[in-house]
């Protein structure tokens, strides 16, 4: 499908829409059917006419989003490449600067949710480069496009309705809710159903706006991590050294053992000294895709809580390393 834009205008309760396309194959009947269904179900959910109108009337199909969804790269960075990209000196310097900008807010999040400032800052840095990332797509159009595509229709329909409910509840204009092509929004890149479950009013203005309010965004992130069981007294990772010919099947973080057992298997600190001999449970993660393993990490319970936020070993390691730099 070539890059083209389809603008659809509908009058509430008076479908089908009038749509124009300059080229390409597009099933107008399917698009109108989707809009009809969204409209009818939204009315049943008692979503306001204003919000429904903002979603339906100026709805736009965005072919590039379908292309992005279907052609997500299978290329994977090595751990070292990934860490060099995301835990770099520029991000560390920016993070320290932004931490100094919000000391009171970060302290409040820590006091209320038990999530320390350097942890919040690490998530903020990785998710939106401390709010520097500028969202590209109007989320309602992104969701309608992905619903039309059909591969994950139920998931994106649920996201659209959650977004519409949030718009009503918090008096947000749909036209101002922008995010990624896949529907993540705001400083910490929440999808609408995550916002619906964990969103918090951090600036006490009676609404939750994680896109425009840093306070709302930080309180929501703190609440989410707290609900995941965050333990502020535990480390996330510990960098270690592997003995020669170590069993690589144990390096995906799925096998967890007490530290005493890892020590007995020859795991040491990078300088060769002994790791703590405790009964604390940990996994072990390293990049086995490279000829020589350069770095390995013991992964503690907080590591696995991070993976409920983003199910990536590399991401969780990056949070652990960046947070240490931002203490």
d(CA 301, CA 317): 12
**pLDDT tens digit string along 269-303?**
999 999 998 889 999 999 999 999 999 999 999 99
180 bridge partner residues? none
In this predicted structure, what is the pLDDT of residue 75? 66
| Residue 139 token pair | 């989320």
Residue reference for tokens 């490279």: 290
What whole-number percentage of the chain has pLDDT above 70? 91
pLDDT digits (tens, 9 = 90+) for 118-133: 999 999 999 999 999 9
Residue 266 pLDDT exceeds 50: yes
Give me the pLDDT at residue 9, please.
39
Phi, psi of 290 (to 5 degrees): -100, 155
CA dihedral 230, 305, 118, 274 (to 10 degrees): 100
Q: What pLDDT is stored for residue 74 in this prediction?
A: 57
- pLDDT at position 3 over 80: no
Nearest to 267 by CA among 254, 252, 282, 287: 282
Using a 10 angstrom Cβ sphere, with 0-12 exposed, 13-18 middle and 19 or more buried, the burial of residue 189 is buried
The pLDDT of residue 16 is above 70: no
Categorize the per-residue pLDDT at 20 as very low, low, confident or very high, splitting at 50, 70 and 90.
very low
Q: Is the pLDDT of residue 250 over 90?
A: yes
Confidence band of 69 (pLDDT split at 50, 70, 90): confident
As to burial, measured by CB atoms within 10 angstroms (0-12 exposed, 13-18 middle, 19+ buried), residue 58 is middle
* Mean of all residue pLDDT scores within the chain: 91
pTM for the model: 0.90
pLDDT, tens only, 141-184: 999 999 999 989 999 999 999 999 999 999 999 999 999 999 99
pLDDT at 19: 38
6 has pLDDT over 70: no
User: Quick check: 235 and 300 in contact, CB under 8 A?
Assistant: yes
98-119 pLDDT, tens digit per residue, is 999 999 999 999 999 999 999 9
Asked if residue 11 has pLDDT above 60, the reply is: no
pLDDT at 25: 84
- Statement: residue 5 has pLDDT above 80: no
pLDDT for residue 118? 98
Tell whether the model's pLDDT for residue 251 goes beyond 60.
Answer: yes
Query: What is the C-alpha separation between 19 and 40, in angstroms, rounded?
Result: 20
pLDDT at residue 68, rounded to an integer = 85
pLDDT at 31 over 60: yes
């Amino acid at each position: 499908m070539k890059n083209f834009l389809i603008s659809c205008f509908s009058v509430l309760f008076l479908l089908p829409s009038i749509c124009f396309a300059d080229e390409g194959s597009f099933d107008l009947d399917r698009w109108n059917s989707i809009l009809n269904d969204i409209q009818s179900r939204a009315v049943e959910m008692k979503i306001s006419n204003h919000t429904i109108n903002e979603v339906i009337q100026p709805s736009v199909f965005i072919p590039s989003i379908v292309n992005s969804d279907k052609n997500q790269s299978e290329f994977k960075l090595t751990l070292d490449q990934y860490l060099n990209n995301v835990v770099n000196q520029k991000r560390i310097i920016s993070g320290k600067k932004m931490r100094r900008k919000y000391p009171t807010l970060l302290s409040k999040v820590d006091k209320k949710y038990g999530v320390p400032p350097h942890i919040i800052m690490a998530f903020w840095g990785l998710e939106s480069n401390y709010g520097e990332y500028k969202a590209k797509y109007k989320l309602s159009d992104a969701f309608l496009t992905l619903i039309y595509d059909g591969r994950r229709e139920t998931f994106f329909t649920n996201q659209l309705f959650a977004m519409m409910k949030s718009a009503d509840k918090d008096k947000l204009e749909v036209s101002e809710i922008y995010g990624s092509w896949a529907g993540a929004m705001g400083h910490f890149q929440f999808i609408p159903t995550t916002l619906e479950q964990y969103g918090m009013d951090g600036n006490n203005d009676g609404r939750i706006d994680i896109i425009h309010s840093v306070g709302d965004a930080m309180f929501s992130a703190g609440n989410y991590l707290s609900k995941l069981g965050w333990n502020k007294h535990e480390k996330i990772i510990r960098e270690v050294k592997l003995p020669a010919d170590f069993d690589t099947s144990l390096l995906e973080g799925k096998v967890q053992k007490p530290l005493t057992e890892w020590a007995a298997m020859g795991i040491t600190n990078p300088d060769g000294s002994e790791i703590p001999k405790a009964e604390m449970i940990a996994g072990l993660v390293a990049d086995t895709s490279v000829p020589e393993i350069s770095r390995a990490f013991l992964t503690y319970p907080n590591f696995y809580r991070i993976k409920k936020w983003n199910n990536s070993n590399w991401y969780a390691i990056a949070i652990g390393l960046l947070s240490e730099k931002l203490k």
